């Protein structure tokens, strides 16, 4: 299995254990003592490999120095959270559409205690919208990608000297032309202002994401 990567490797390993056991491992709730008879012995090696693969499945969004980038395969490995339509000034259609994704395990972690776990990555795509009349009415749709906004959960204050990290997150905006280099210089002045109304929910507008509702 060493030649497999990403989701393919995870699925190959998961096939060695039961679906229920695999789901518990990924959620971090597997208990060998309460598993079916022989489960821990039958799949102990596979379980260890599955945990390792799951941990390595999430694309990295930051290096050791705290430099953030847009994960290259977030559309295929992340979970869709929800979308926002930013209305035009005249209220006729949307000016922008924001689509948000969360890294594997982020939703499960949030559902446990109402907080995203350390290492969770949120990626927001920002599109200019196109609005036109259709048979169903006036419709707005994604048209041109403007860029991405990436947040990385970090309650440990891992990068105290980095101005893009603080208040339990790493924050960065990226223009569509370069997903590897942020144009943000200070999260407090460049990013956090838009999130002030969501301070009580860890700076995230969780009310807009149905998958986070119990």
Selected residue with higher pLDDT from 15 and 144: 144
DSSP summary character for residue 189:
H
Looking at the structure, tell me whether residues 90 and 145 fall in a common domain.
Answer: yes
Per residue in 135-191, pLDDT (tens digit) is 988 899 999 999 999 999 999 999 999 999 999 999 999 999 999 999 999 999 999
Task: Using CB atoms within 10 Å of the CB of residue 176, give its burial: 0 to 12 exposed, 13 to 18 middle, 19+ buried.
Answer: middle
| DSSP 8-class letter at 35 | S
Q: What is the CATH number of the domain that holds 155?
A: 3.50.70.20
Instruction: Give the pLDDT of residue 121.
Output: 97
Q: What residues make up the domain containing 143?
A: 74-212
Give me 145's structure tokens. Answer: 């990608």
At 85-121, the pLDDT tens digits run: 999 988 888 999 999 999 999 999 999 999 999 999 9
Query: Which of 6-15, 30-39, 182-191, 195-204 comes out lowest in average pLDDT?
Result: 6-15
Both 108 and 143 in one domain: the answer is yes
Residue 115 falls inside a structural domain: yes
CB-CB neighbours of 148 under 10 Å = 21
Does residue 67 sit within a domain? no
SS3 121: strand
To 5 degrees, how large is the angle CA 133–CA 134–CA 136?
120
State the pTM of this model.
Answer: 0.73
Task: List the Cα angle 122/158/76 in 5-degree steps.
Answer: 25
Q: Helices then strands (H, E): number in the chain?
A: 6, 6
In the chain, the number of structural domains is: 2
Report the pLDDT value the prediction gives residue 89, as an integer from 0 to 100.
87
The rounded percent of the chain whose pLDDT value lies above 70 is 72
Q: What is the DSSP letter of 175?
A: E
Regarding whether 175 and 87 lie in a shared domain, the answer is yes
């Amino acid at each position: 299995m060493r030649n497999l990567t990403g989701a393919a490797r995870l699925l190959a390993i998961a096939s060695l254990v039961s679906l229920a056991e695999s789901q518990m491992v990924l959620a971090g709730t597997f208990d060998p003592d309460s598993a079916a008879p022989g489960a821990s012995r039958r799949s102990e090696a596979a379980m260890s490999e599955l945990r390792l693969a799951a941990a390595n499945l999430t694309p990295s969004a930051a290096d050791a120095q705290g430099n953030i980038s847009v994960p290259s395969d977030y559309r295929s490995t992340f979970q869709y959270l929800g979308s926002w339509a930013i209305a035009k000034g005249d209220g006729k259609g949307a000016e922008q559409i924001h689509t948000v994704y969360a890294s594997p395990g982020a939703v499960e972690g949030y559902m446990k205690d109402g907080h995203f776990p350390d290492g969770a990555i949120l990626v927001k795509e920002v599109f200019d919208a196109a609005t036109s009349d259709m048979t169903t009415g006036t419709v707005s749709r994604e048209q041109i990608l403007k860029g991405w906004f990436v947040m990385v959960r970090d309650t440990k204050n891992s990068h105290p000297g980095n101005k893009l990290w603080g208040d339990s997150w790493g924050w960065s905006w990226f223009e569509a032309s370069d997903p590897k280099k942020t144009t943000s210089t200070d999260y407090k002045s460049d990013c956090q202002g838009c999130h002030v109304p969501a301070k009580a929910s860890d700076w995230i507008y969780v009310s807009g994401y149905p998958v986070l509702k119990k």
